[in-house]
Structure 1
Amino acid sequence: MSGVLSLWRTASRLPLGDRLFSRAFAFRAPYFASIRPRFTVIEPDHAELVVRDRRRVHNHLGTVHAIALCNGLEAAMGALAEASIPATKRWIPKGMEVAYTAKASGDITCIAETDRAQWTGDDPDVPVRVRGEDRDGTVVVEGEIRLWVTEKTAGRR
């Protein structure tokens, strides 16, 4: 089991553990602190977090900014990748394509999903499906983050 998944399973059982984990995740990858993600689900092939509706993530229209949404999707993808990838492999983002499908008002749940078989095959390209939903379940952004997955080198296991 990955360190991220193990830490999540331990922390999420504690009072406010999801918030402690989320802060630790953002500390490890400081750019994510800009949206203050709050993880709600991390398991192999599925991760979810919430980007709260606050002024610091707004655009000039008062809705959640497109880049804040992408940041949330990438954080969800990163947690999913860490929880899903075999210990003998490593990953790095290769590209992202998203479509903004509705105004992003209110708290947005960012969701990342894959299929188990994607991690065990020989294809180095792993597409991760991502979407953001508002409180009503309306999809406000959806797309794919492509990962480059390779075997770890001998000294990096």
Structure 2
Amino acid sequence: MPSTLDVYQKMSALPQGKRLFSIFYGQKAPYFASIHLRVEEMKPHFAQITIPKRRSVQNHIGTVHAIAACNGLEAAMGLLAEATCPSDHRWLPKGMDVQYLAKSDGDLVCTAESDPEAWADGPDVPVRVTAALKDGTVTVAGTIHLWVTPKKR
């Protein structure tokens, strides 16, 4: 079975491929579909998605809800983990620490980044995550903690 990264690389090379991959990824975990994410980039140690500001992700004051932002951060982290985790290992999120820094009053760009050394040192792997507006204002920042272990045979 091809890896998620293989599928991304093949699909993103096609016209409308990133849009189609975004739909595919949104269906992989149904709660990702609720934020209507668009996958911008996926590679080892880096992933980026965009959450469009739509009524379905807004809170009572008309900004992107904090939990929708966290959903986007987790989606970005999942792409990073799929692209980075060795094929003989598995990853599981074990916690998320975030701070809400500003109102999310527009589309959010959710980014996940990790350091190669952290994956080598495992099994605890921190992934830095941020959600930012198009002007660069960071609205949510934090760390998602992964547990990376060898697969049982």
TM-score by length of 1: 0.94
Structure 1 stretches of at least 4 aligned residues deviating more than 4 Å after TM superposition: none
In 2, Cα distance between equivalents of 1:120 and 1:88: 13
Correspondence 1:1-157 to 2 at 5 A:
3-121=3-121, 123-154=122-153
SS of equivalent to 1:15: coil
CA RMSD of aligned residues (A): 0.9
Q: For 1:1-39, what per-residue CA distance to the aligned partner results, in whole angstroms no more than 9, with x for missing partners? A: x71111111111111111110111111111101101100
Measured after TM superposition, the shift of residue 66 of structure 1 is: 0.2
Count of residue correspondences = 152
In 1, Cα distance between equivalents of 2:8 and 2:81: 14
Q: For 1:106-147, what per-residue CA distance to the aligned partner results, in whole angstroms no more than 9, with x for missing partners? A: 1100000001122222x3110000000101000000000000
Q: For 1:23-65, what per-residue CA distance to the aligned partner results, in whole angstroms no more than 9, with x for missing partners? A: 1111111110110110000000000000001010000000000
TM-score by length of 2: 0.97
Taking only the aligned residue pairs, the percentage that are identical comes to 53
In 2, Cα distance between equivalents of 1:116 and 1:124: 13
Measured after TM superposition, the shift of residue 105 of structure 1 is: 1.1
**Runs (5+) with no aligned partner, structure 1:** none
**Runs (5+) with no aligned partner, structure 2:** none
In 1, Cα distance between equivalents of 2:117 and 2:14: 32
SS of equivalent to 1:150: strand
